[in-house]
């Protein structure tokens, strides 16, 4: 695997790369990421990944400073997963001047769910991904469905700007007890880690009830909220939405649905979702 710290170096190395498949990350890689890398191999000639902890998508007071940086271990995993090129720029390389030109996702995508609790988050994500796309110029890019809203926002961005990039979803990878793999799981204490799979259990139960015909989403959401609260969690949202645009489901009709949740356990904020 070739590691590139500069845009010029990466571009020179990718000149005869054929169809480029790109998997951007913020590092601290786990099996969720490496599954995406392996999946990427089947979609093109050259697999490019990036590691860049993007300051623009963190709010003041969030975990930008303590976000785990594990570069050497990440490189080993990328090599094992068959990645050809890693782009690992410094902040000065990717943002040599303040990034005043930004991608502003529409409020109906950016200010709901995660965006309600992390204002500006999706502006930061869309802006860095647009910039990484400009640098890497991939023909395809993979994003995990664990960050379901991020996948929706970036798919819409690519569609509305007519970027010539195929956006491919990756399934969420879970631990045996159901907890979705996440870089932030490393913040959990042993007791919290034992409690953490409850989030997935609550979502599974809610999804099962909807599949069995229960359409009282508000009551189902409230029950899941109450269960988490009773076990010491602080949920931000648990919400049944339409998969296509993450808006509330209509009273009639039967569009494909997804239930999404975010909740704090101690000082760790976990997110998860399940397609119904």
| Closest CB 126 distance from ligand PAF, rounded Å | 9
User: Would you call 212 exposed, middle or buried from its count of C-beta atoms within 10 A (0-12, 13-18, 19+)?
Assistant: exposed
47 or 129: whose CB is closer to ligand PAF?
A: 129
Q: Which of 4, 30, 33, 43 is catalytic?
A: 33
Rounded to whole angstroms, how far apart are CA atoms 114 and 59?
12
34 binds ligand PAF (CB under 6 A): no
Q: Which is nearer to ligand PAF, 33 or 198 (CB)?
A: 33
Selected range binding ligand PAF among 21-29, 134-142, 185-193, 249-257, rule: CB under 6 A: 21-29
Closer CB to ligand PAF, residue 88 or residue 125?
A: 125
Cα–Cα distances (Å) from 267 to 101, 184, 229, 232, 270, in that order, read 33, 11, 14, 11, 10
> Which residues inside 53-72 make contact with ligand PAF, applying CB under 6 A?
54, 57
- Stretch 181-220: interaction string toward ligand PAF, x if CB under 6 A: ----------------------------------------
Residue 98 tokens read as 């303040």
Q: How far is the C-alpha of 159 from the C-alpha of 244, rounded, in Å?
A: 13
We find the least distance from the C-beta atom of residue 252 to ligand PAF, in angstroms, to be: 35
Is the separation of the CB atoms in 37 and 31 below 8 Å? Answer: no
Binding test (CB under 6 A) with ligand PAF, winner from 24, 115, 170, 249: 24
Residue 33 catalytic? yes
Exposed/middle/buried for 219, CB within 10 Å: 0-12, 13-18, 19+? exposed
Task: Give the shortest CB-131-to-ligand PAF separation in angstroms.
Answer: 10
- From the CB of residue 7, how many other CB atoms can be counted at a distance below 10 Å? 17
53 closest CA partner among 128, 111, 160: 128
Q: Which residue has the tokens 């802006």?
A: 127
Residue 26 contacts ligand PAF per CB under 6 A: yes
Site for ligand PAF in 88-147 (CB under 6 A): 125, 128-129, 147
Q: CB under 6 A: which stretch of 24-32, 61-69, 99-107, 263-271 binds ligand PAF?
A: 24-32
Strands 140-144 and 2-4: unpaired
Q: Closer CB to ligand PAF, residue 36 or residue 207? A: 36
Integer Cα distance of 72 and 2 in angstroms: 14
The residue among 32 and 249 lying less far from ligand PAF, judged by its C-beta, is 32
- Burial track 121-146 (b if 16+ CB lie within 10 A, e otherwise): bbbbbbbbbbbbbebbbbbbbbbbbb
Q: Does 51 bind ligand PAF (CB under 6 A)?
A: no
Binding-site ranges for ligand PAF (CB under 6 A):
24-26, 54, 57, 125, 128-129, 147, 150
Give the active site residues. Answer: 33
């Amino acid at each position: 695997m070739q590691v590139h710290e500069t845009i010029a170096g990466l571009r020179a190395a990718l000149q005869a790369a054929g169809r480029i498949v790109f998997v951007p990350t913020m590092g601290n890689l786990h099996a969720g990421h490496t599954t995406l890398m392996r999946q990427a191999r089947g979609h093109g000639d050259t697999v490019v990944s990036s590691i860049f902890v993007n300051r623009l998508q963190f709010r003041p007071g969030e975990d930008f400073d303590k976000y785990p940086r594990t570069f050497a271990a990440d490189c080993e995993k990328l090599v094992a997963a068959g990645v050809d090129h890693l782009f690992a720029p410094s902040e000065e390389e990717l943002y040599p001047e303040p990034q005043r030109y930004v991608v502003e996702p529409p409020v109906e995508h950016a200010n709901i769910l995660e965006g309600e609790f992390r204002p500006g988050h999706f502006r930061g994500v869309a802006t860095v991904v647009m910039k990484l796309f400009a640098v890497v110029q991939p023909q395809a890019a993979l994003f995990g469905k664990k960050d379901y809203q991020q996948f929706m926002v970036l798919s819409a961005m690519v569609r509305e700007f007519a970027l010539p990039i195929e956006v491919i979803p990756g399934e969420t990878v879970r631990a045996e007890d159901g907890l979705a793999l996440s870089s932030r799981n490393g913040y959990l204490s042993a007791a919290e880690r034992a409690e953490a799979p409850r989030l997935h259990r609550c979502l599974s139960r809610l999804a099962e009830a909807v599949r069995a015909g229960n359409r009282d989403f508000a009551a189902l959401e409230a029950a899941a909220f109450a269960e988490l609260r009773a076990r010491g969690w602080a949920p931000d949202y648990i919400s049944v939405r339409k998969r296509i645009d993450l808006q509330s489901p209509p009273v009639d009709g039967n569009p494909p649905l997804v239930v999404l949740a975010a909740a704090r356990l101690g000082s760790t904020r976990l997110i998860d979702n399940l397609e119904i």
